[in-house]
Structure 1
Amino acid sequence: MIYVDDSGHPQTGLVVYGWVECSPDRWTSVLRTWLDLRRRLWREAGVPVTQELHTTEYVNGRGRISRRFPDRHRHNGVDHWKDFGREIATDCLEALRSAEGLTVGAVFRRGDPKDLAQTRYDTYAALIDRIEGELEDRDALGMVFMDGDGSDSTYRTAHRALKLDKRRVIEDAVHLDSKHSQLEQMADLVAWSAYSSLDRHHANEFAWNWYATFLAERDPNRAPREI
């Protein structure tokens, strides 16, 4: 079971896909580890378990994810949402690092910004080919889950280009609404951390090493791979 999300920088043509992966028999324990974290975030920081954690929003201080803003991030009457959001992100990353049975990964490609749609398709198709090969090596089957409503044909086209008699990835990508999928929110954090490690602009300097620090040990390749 492979939960994928995308990230990147359209202005430079950078496309990133990140994912979290587990076998069906480990799905419950992986989800339980994450939900234990979410319950702690509710108790200690007022972040509801049902609140979507969309990385771009809360690490940049735009998402008002807490109902009880913690005093430790309030200074001289000012709520420092960026500091709070980045603390939440590192707590989430630590949960990913400690989740038994979970692996993560990320791939990227740099293309022409004027042809971003083609770069996105080529990157995703190459990722699916890679997943196919890994599943074949393990004599296993897999399913891919993506954030969204399924209106983007990129993912469907890539899946249907596979040879049916040899396919290891079952069905088209299954689309989930990240607002209601904890594992898609996990994938979002992986994808954004991978992106920040690759596109090192000053505004995201705080996250340049998140992938190496928290996720590399869960990634068989130890770092995002160009594909």
Structure 2
Amino acid sequence: MIYADDSGHPASGLVLYGWIEFSPDHWAPVLKSWLDLRKRLWRDYGIPVTQELHATQFVNGRGRISQRIPPRFIHRGVEYWKDFGREVAVQCLETLRSTEGLTVGAVWRRRSPAELAQTKSEAYSALIRRFEDELAEADSLALVFMDGDGSDSSYRKSHRSLKLAQRRVIEDAIHLDSRSSQLIQMADLVAWCANSSVDRHPGNHFASEWYSTFLAERDPCRSPREI
């Protein structure tokens, strides 16, 4: 079972996909590990279990994810949401690193910004072919779950361009709303960290090593790969 999300930097033509992956018999333990984290985040940080954790929002302090931000993040009446969000992100990454049976991965491609839609489609097709090769080698099948509403037809085309008799990814990508899927939110954090590792700049310098620090040991390739 593969849960994936996209990221990147459109202005530079960068497209990136990050994912979490586990066998079906690990679905319950993986989800339980994350839900246990969510309960701790409610207890320690006032973040409801139902609150979406969207990395772009909370890591950079844009999202007000807590109903009672801890006093140590309040100085002279000012709430330091960036510091708060980054501490929460580290808690989430520690959970990903320690979840038994979980693997993660990320791939990227960069072309001209004017060709962004084509680059995204090509990168996804290359990723699906990579999954197909890995599944064929392991004699396994998989389902791919993606964030979104499925309105982008390029995802469907990537799957249906493969020969049916040889396909290892069952069905087209199944699209889920990240607001209600804890597993897609996990994939979102992987994709965000991978993007910070590949597209380094002063604004995300604090997270440029998060992938290597927390996620590399869960990634068979040890780092995001150009595809």
TM-score (norm 2): 0.99
Q: Deviations over 1:137-194 (max 9, x none)?
A: 0000000000011111111110101110100000000000000000000000000000
Measured on the aligned residues, the alpha-carbon RMSD in Å equals 0.4
Which residue does 1:187 correspond to in 2?
A: 187
Which residue does 2:57 correspond to in 1?
A: 57
Which residue does 1:169 correspond to in 2?
A: 169
Which residue does 2:16 correspond to in 1?
A: 16
Q: CA deviation at 1:29?
A: 0.3
CA distance in 1, matches of 2:202, 2:99: 31
Which residue does 1:148 correspond to in 2?
A: 148
CA distance in 2, matches of 1:172, 1:159: 6
Which residue does 2:26 correspond to in 1?
A: 26
Which residue does 1:219 correspond to in 2?
A: 219
Report the identity percentage.
69
Which residue does 1:93 correspond to in 2?
A: 93
Give the AA of the match of 1:9. H
CA distance in 1, matches of 2:157, 2:181: 24
2:57 paired with 1:68: no
Q: Equivalences for 1:195-206 in 2 at 5 Å?
A: 195-206=195-206
Give the AA of the match of 1:112. S
Q: Deviations over 1:101-129 (max 9, x none)?
A: 00000000011100100000000000000
Which residue does 1:81 correspond to in 2?
A: 81
Q: Deviations over 1:53-87 (max 9, x none)?
A: 00000011110000011011111111000000000
Q: CA deviation at 1:12?
A: 0.3
Q: CA deviation at 1:212?
A: 0.1
Give the paired residue count.
227
Which residue does 1:123 correspond to in 2?
A: 123
3-state SS of paired residue (1:51) = coil
Q: What runs of 5+ residues in structure 2 fail to find an aligned partner?
A: none
CA distance in 2, matches of 1:69, 1:210: 23
CA distance in 1, matches of 2:132, 2:72: 47
TM-score (norm 1): 0.99
Question: 68-77 vs 125-134, which deviates more?
Answer: 68-77
CA distance in 2, matches of 1:132, 1:101: 20
Which residue does 2:41 correspond to in 1?
A: 41
Which residue does 1:138 correspond to in 2?
A: 138
Q: Which runs of 4+ in 1 moved over 6 A?
A: none
CA distance in 2, matches of 1:5, 1:159: 16
